[in-house]
Amino acid sequence: MTSLSRRSLLVSGAAMIGAGLLAGRARASDARLTISSIWGADKPFQKVVDAFNAKGLGVTVENRFDGDYETATAKALAGIAAGKEPDLMITGWKFGYFARRILGARDLREINSARVNAIMANFRPSLAPLVTIDGALIGLPWAMSTPITFINSVLWAEAGLSADLPENPDTDWLYDAARKLDAALKGHATYRSALALSNNEWTSQSFIQNAGGFIIDPNGKLALDSEAARLGMEAYCAPAHEGLWLPVSGKEQDAAFEAGALAICTTTSTRAVAFPQGPAKAITAKFPGLPGHARNMNSGGNFLAVYTKNQERAEAALTFLEFCASAEGQKIWSEVGYLNTSTHEIPLINEFMKPAEAQLVDGLTAETIWPGKRGLEGQTIWRNWVSRMLTKDVSVADGLKQASAELSTVLAD
């Protein structure tokens, strides 16, 4: 037990204050950047931020948790209007047009094309178009997910179904399995529902594209009046109409699957971090394609965009992006469960990510980026019409027709 004299206390106190002041002076020369993000301090993104800050590169970043994509975007808009824009923001893919045209996400090449080209060289070239809006490269394509199929292996085995999942499952196989599960497991202690294809504006896009159509075609035109769109939506709604699928929110679907009450669910590949570890002991397969049609899967997730108008701060933001794009940054980042979009050799966090990785190798389109000033409204309109089709409030053919009419008006604004 060391005794503490008044003198030693004063000396050590003075030393601590002095050290603090010196460190403060050193930090004062750093550029301090704010990143508006959808992840709190308990998520792997914070580890990326901490690892970068620990490097002492003269740039310090602060991760500011601003809620989900919608809330973070609203806060960014208010901040920009008040002249206090976030330096960087985690921006949902679906907000691409809004980020560029309304929020003014910077064209990274305008900040420093040489540095940005070097950063982008760390990513697969096929991803650049996904973050290129109106000819401007507006972000780092580092957070990409894709919907895949999660299967409760316990219920699957109890229903006598084979654990050898097809490499390219289709809806015939999936719905047939759901019927068998339903027939075999009614009255089972935990089983409550065969299937969930929720998160409806996202997975409905997968079905339409796997049928050969688009919600919005590559030229930015609405394409819901096609035969392929009808085919895709009919396949999407079929299990709900048959009673194999109870349409619930993504949140409720996840809770039910984790509790072991749901046999099959299609959702974001990032759930591969948690689902296999829970009571469902999930196994994974690719998202179901449509029989006789070439698969054309979509991606999801977000990109890192720069919003600061100040050139010096924008350059500092690139320093952070350089770290994010590096092998070291990517390795830390991979814990989130996003796909490895970089050219670095980053091992998959677990085998359950393999179907998602395979879909990436096959090629992924962007998730629907709703155009026009009222694009965000467009997403809600589509979501509502999908709900109406699922609940038979309207037939698929009429639902598509009316959705198309309503969306045309809104997206033309």
* Among the residue ranges 154-162, 220-228, 350-358, 375-383, the one whose residues contact another protein (CB under 8 A): 375-383
Q: Is 61 in the site for another protein (CB under 8 A)?
A: no
Can you read off the two tokens belonging to residue 403? 């959705």
φ/ψ bin of 108: left (φ > 0), alpha (ψ from -120 to 50), beta (otherwise): alpha
First to last CA, the chain: 75
Binding another protein (rule: CB under 8 A), the pick from 35, 224, 297, 376 is: 376
Non-local (6+) Cβ contacts of 299 within 8 A are: 93, 130, 144, 145, 146, 360, 364, 365, 366, 367
Q: Do 356 and 144 form a contact (C-beta atoms < 8 A)?
A: no
Distance CA 390, CA 137 (A): 37
Q: Is 387 in the site for another protein (CB under 8 A)?
A: yes
Q: Is 38 in the site for another protein (CB under 8 A)?
A: no
Q: Is 81 in the site for another protein (CB under 8 A)?
A: yes
Using CB under 8 A, count the residues that bind another protein: 36
Distance CA 179, CA 269 (A): 24
Q: What angle do CA 182, 399, 68 make, to 5 degrees?
A: 75
Distance CA 40, CA 232 (A): 37
Q: Of 11 and 74, which has the nearer Cβ to another protein?
A: 74
Q: Is 32 in the site for another protein (CB under 8 A)?
A: no
Q: Is 380 in the site for another protein (CB under 8 A)?
A: yes
Q: Of 188 and 354, which has the nearer Cβ to another protein?
A: 188
Burial of 412 per CB tally in 10 Å (0-12, 13-18, 19+)? exposed
Half-sphere exposure of 42 (CA within 13 A, CB side): 0
Non-local (6+) Cβ contacts of 194 within 8 A are: 178, 179, 181, 182, 239, 244, 245, 262, 263, 264
* Among the residue ranges 164-172, 217-225, 240-248, 268-276, the one whose residues contact another protein (CB under 8 A): 240-248
Q: Is 273 in the site for another protein (CB under 8 A)?
A: no
Instruction: Tell me the per-residue interface mask from 135 to 174 with another protein, x by CB under 8 A, - otherwise.
Output: ----------------------------------------
* Among the residue ranges 46-54, 171-179, 257-265, 328-336, the one whose residues contact another protein (CB under 8 A): 257-265
Q: Is 104 in the site for another protein (CB under 8 A)?
A: yes
Q: Is 398 in the site for another protein (CB under 8 A)?
A: no
CB of 388: closest distance to another protein in angstroms?
5
* Among the residue ranges 59-67, 301-309, 342-350, 373-381, the one whose residues contact another protein (CB under 8 A): 373-381
Q: Of 52 and 257, which has the nearer Cβ to another protein?
A: 257
Q: Is 78 in the site for another protein (CB under 8 A)?
A: yes
Convert 152-166 to b/e letters by CB count within 10 Å (16 or more is b): bbbbbebbebeeebe
Q: Of 80 and 274, which has the nearer Cβ to another protein?
A: 80
Q: Do 256 and 198 form a contact (C-beta atoms < 8 A)?
A: no
CB of 368: closest distance to another protein in angstroms?
16
CB of 81: closest distance to another protein in angstroms?
4
* Among the residue ranges 32-40, 126-134, 242-250, 307-315, the one whose residues contact another protein (CB under 8 A): 242-250
CB of 165: closest distance to another protein in angstroms?
23
- Interface residues for another protein in 294-313 (CB under 8 A)? none
Non-local (6+) Cβ contacts of 60 within 8 A are: 27, 30, 31, 32, 33, 53
Can you read off the two tokens belonging to residue 152? 């409760």
Distance CA 105, CA 382 (A): 26
CB of 387: closest distance to another protein in angstroms?
4
Q: Is 391 in the site for another protein (CB under 8 A)?
A: yes
Q: Of 240 and 285, which has the nearer Cβ to another protein?
A: 240
- Secondary structure class of 304 (helix, strand, coil): strand
Question: What number of other Cβ atoms are within 10 A of residue 243's Cβ?
Answer: 10
Binding site for another protein (CB under 8 A): 70, 74, 77-78, 80-81, 102-104, 190, 192-193, 196, 246-249, 251-253, 255-256, 259, 261-262, 374, 376-377, 380, 383-385, 387-388, 391, 393
